A and B are shown apart, each in its own frame.
Chain A
Amino acid sequence: MIDLFPLFETTSLDLGIKIFILFLIFLFMVFMFIALVNVRALNRLVLLESGRSSFIIQAIFAFYFLLIVSLFLLALAIL
C-alpha cells in the first residue's frame, strides 16, 4: 500500500506542498486580476447595450475573482 498521508504529515514536506499549492492558487489569482483589469479597460473602450452587457460581464468576472480569493483563503485555513 502506498500511503501518502506521511508525506503530508512530515513537517518539511508538508510545508513544501502547502506552499506550492498556495503559490499556484496565488499565481492564478494574480492572472485573473489582470484579466479583470483588462475587462474594465475594454468596457471603457467600447460600451455595449448602453453599458448593460459591460456591467454583466464585469460582475461575472468580479464574482469569479472573489471565488478564487475565497479558495486561496480556504486553502490557507485548512491545509
Chain B
Amino acid sequence: MADEHHSGEESKKHPTSDSVASLKNDRLNFFSTYVELPNGVSYENQEDDEKILVFLRRHPVTNFPWIFIALFLYFLPFLVAPILPGLFETMGIFDVSVPGNYIFILSSFYFLIVTGYWLLCFISWFYNISMVTNNEVVDIDYTGVFHKSIATTNLREIQDVEYIQKGLLQTFFNYGDVFIQTAGSRPNLEFLRIPHPAKVSDIIMDEKRKVEEND
C-alpha cells in the first residue's frame, strides 16, 4: 500500500487557504478525538491569552485491538473450563480437585487483572492528548503506568510539519501520523494515529505563519 506522505511546505503554496479561520467551536465529550476550539479544556502552564485551537486523541479505530483482546480474555475461562476435563483425560489425569476458596479467589483475581488491563489501555488512550494552541504545540504521552511524557514546542520553533497516512484502515477512516520537526536541539513531536492529519498539519503551518507575521 502506498504511503500518502505530505510536507507542510506543500501548504505554503496555497497562502489564501486559512484553515484556522474556518475552525468551528465544538464541545468536548468523554470520547472526543478531534475537537476544534474546545470548551472546558485547559492545561498546566497555559497562558491567560492562549487559546486551544485543536484538541486531539488517537482515532477510536485504534482502540479495537485491546477491546477485542479484553473481551476474549473475559470469555476465555468460560471457553476453557468445559474442555479442561477432556484435556486432562487425554493426559491420563481423570480427576483434579482444588479447594473452592482458592478457585474463587484466583478466578476473581483473574477477572480483576483483565479489568485492569482494559482500564489501563483506556487510560492510555484517554490521556494521550495532543493540542495545538495559538502559541504552541503540546503532546502528552501516557503509554503505561511507569511512562509519561509531556512535550511542548513554540510555534516559532517549528521548521516543518508532515503527515503520513498508510494502509487501508488509515486511508478509510482518515487518520494518520503528524510529525513536527523543530529547530535546534528541541525534540521533534509526533501526533500518532490522529484523525484528520492533513487538516491538523495545515492548521499548525497556518498558525505558525500567523505568529511569524505578527513578530
Contacts and interface: CB of A to CB of B under 8 A. Distances in A.
Contact of A1 (B41, B44, B94, B142): B94
Nearest to A41: B148
B119 A47 contact: no
Contacts of A75: 105, 109
Interface string B93-118: 11111110110111011001101100
A42 B43 contact: no
User: How big is chain B's contact interface, by range?
Assistant: 35 or more
Interface of A: 1-5, 8, 17, 21, 24-25, 28, 31-32, 34-35, 38-39, 41-42, 44-50, 52-53, 56-57, 60-61, 64, 67-68, 71, 74-75, 78-79
8 contacts: A17-B102, A34-B145, A34-B146, A39-B127, A41-B148, A46-B42, A48-B40, A79-B105
Interface of B: 28-30, 40-44, 93-99, 101-102, 104-106, 108-109, 112-113, 115-116, 119-120, 123, 126-127, 129, 140, 142, 145-146, 148, 150
